[in-house]
Structure 1
Amino acid sequence: MTRGTRRAGALGTALLAALLLVGCASGGSGGSGGDVLPSDQAVPTGTEGAAHFDDYALVTGEGSIDVQLWFDLRCPICQQFEEAAGEQIAGLVDDGTITYSLHPMNFLDRVSAGTYYSSRAGSALTCVAVEDPDALLDAMQVLYEAQPEEGTEGLTNTEINGVLEDGGIEGLGECVDEMPYTSWVQASNDAALAGIEGADVEAIQGTPTLIVNGTSYQGSVSDADAIIDFITSGGQS
């Protein structure tokens, strides 16, 4: 998949998200049972590819406008945000307007029937950031397109890799299967709940939370025009 094939479609129902776009409310740390994650992982540090581990961010673009998004790949409201504005945001990355920092969270592990889907999907996205940085936003799109319903076990690691391969993102099967970044996704989640520096919010209370140059977006997650206007104005509109 190339960036140009990304879909941009505003959903029919406009969902107002007051209080930091609290579409999927965070209720604490992620894990909810099910011994499926590596138990002895160290949290990685430094920078590899697009993964800025110390900042708990997957970063793409080099524009002057600082755009940051906190999300959980299991969150249906995050999916709506991606469907509404993902392609246009990717265009702002490509044309050099923004630096886009993605902060994965995993608090919806608790609705994954013990399989830690948010952590595993977040680790898979981080695999892409490390090994194929140019495909980061395409990977996020296809993972949202394949988003499982809350309360189900979600996709297996093999199925997650299949989704990526179907989107043209190949060669990551071993990384996806070994889940080397689940501890980092948990650390990213915990850091977001503990506090955000340089923003008009103290901490992340739900996802998606969009912050542009330190200002949080308070509008509809499905209003692409409002989202893009907020971003291109540097958080002023």
Structure 2
Amino acid sequence: MMRKWGRSITAAGVLVAALVLAGCASGGDTSGGGNGGGATQTVAPGDLPTGVEGAAHFDDFALVVGDGDIDVRLWFDPRCPVCGHFEEAAGERIAALVDDGTITYSLHPMNFLDRASQGTRYSSRAGSALTCVAVEQPELVLDSLKAIYDAIPPEGTAGLENAEITSVLVDGGVDAGIGDCVDAETYTAWVQASNDAALAGIEGADISAIQGTPTLIVNGTAYRGDVIDTEAIVAFITSGGQS
């Protein structure tokens, strides 16, 4: 049975000190770019969507599900294998915390691993596709992110084509009409802007900027534990970032 907000998105955390060991490091490259890396792609603010549509809170660079008192924020790249490992370890439990009203979950897509997809901008396209779901079928955001990680391409490959991303989402329960938005790559510029904003700095947290994925921040405190330790992650979240 489909959950109220779908399955669950990855909620792994990375500590700053152990990021390279525990997650996918940005390597200081602030661009997914049109060529899979390299010079920063400038996105004019006027070219970006604004306001709130479905679960997409465009001004905050977040896809938001749930309405609980505990503020949980995740930065992720759809190509990051460690994010996928976390989803496997803890996704179901975090989905339950969304469903029972414990947490508000803000998901911030990044695309610095575009550089690892042979110029196809896979992270940008997959992030855009998830945003399409957030706008058109917000109740399926978490199911869709799980589906994307279940189908994560092998490292060093070009990644899935848009039609294949659509098939993955449809197999996860999304209406086939999502394909138009996926094919148009409607939100790739917004994903780029989300990426750049995260690397430039974040407010209200005990780290100054996002240095890689996955990064989990709960009530302003970054998770510094094992990214595949289900119980530790859940305890950190339910304690409001105190454990």
SS at match of 1:3: coil
SS at match of 2:186: coil
The answer for the alignment partner of 2:48 in structure 1 is 43
Q: Check whether the contact 1:20–1:217 (CA below 8 A) recurs between aligned residues.
A: no
Residue 94 of structure 2 is aligned to residue 97 of structure 1? no
- Structure 1 residue 150 displacement after superposition: 1.9
CA distance in 1, matches of 2:18, 2:217: 10
Letter in 2 for 1:143: I
Pick aligned residue for 2:88 from 83, 87, 97:
83
Give runs of aligned pairs for residues 147-162 of structure 1, distance below 5 A: 147-162=152-167
The number of residue pairs the alignment matches comes to 228
- Structure 1 residue 17 displacement after superposition: 5.2
The answer for the alignment partner of 1:19 in structure 2 is 16
Pick aligned residue for 1:182 from 188, 197, 200:
188
- Structure 1 residue 168 displacement after superposition: 1.2
Letter in 2 for 1:226: A
Unaligned residue ranges in structure 2 (runs of 5+): 37-42
Unaligned residue ranges in structure 1 (runs of 5+): 9-14
- Structure 1 residue 16 displacement after superposition: 10
Q: Check whether the contact 1:20–1:209 (CA below 8 A) recurs between aligned residues.
A: no
Q: Check whether the contact 1:57–1:103 (CA below 8 A) recurs between aligned residues.
A: yes
TM-score, scaled relative to structure 2: 0.88
Post-superposition Cα deviations, 1:16-55, rounded to whole Å, max 9, x if no partner, equal 9542662100132112627xxxx99921111100000000
Point out 4+ residue stretches in structure 1 off by more than 6 angstroms: none
Q: Check whether the contact 2:62–2:106 (CA below 8 A) recurs between aligned residues.
A: yes
SS at match of 1:174: helix
**Alignment CA distance shift 1:137-1:16 (3 Å):** closer
TM-score, scaled relative to structure 1: 0.90
CA RMSD, 1 decimal:
2.4
Identity score, percent: 68
Letter in 1 for 2:26: S
Letter in 1 for 2:16: L
Residue 123 of structure 2 is aligned to residue 121 of structure 1? no
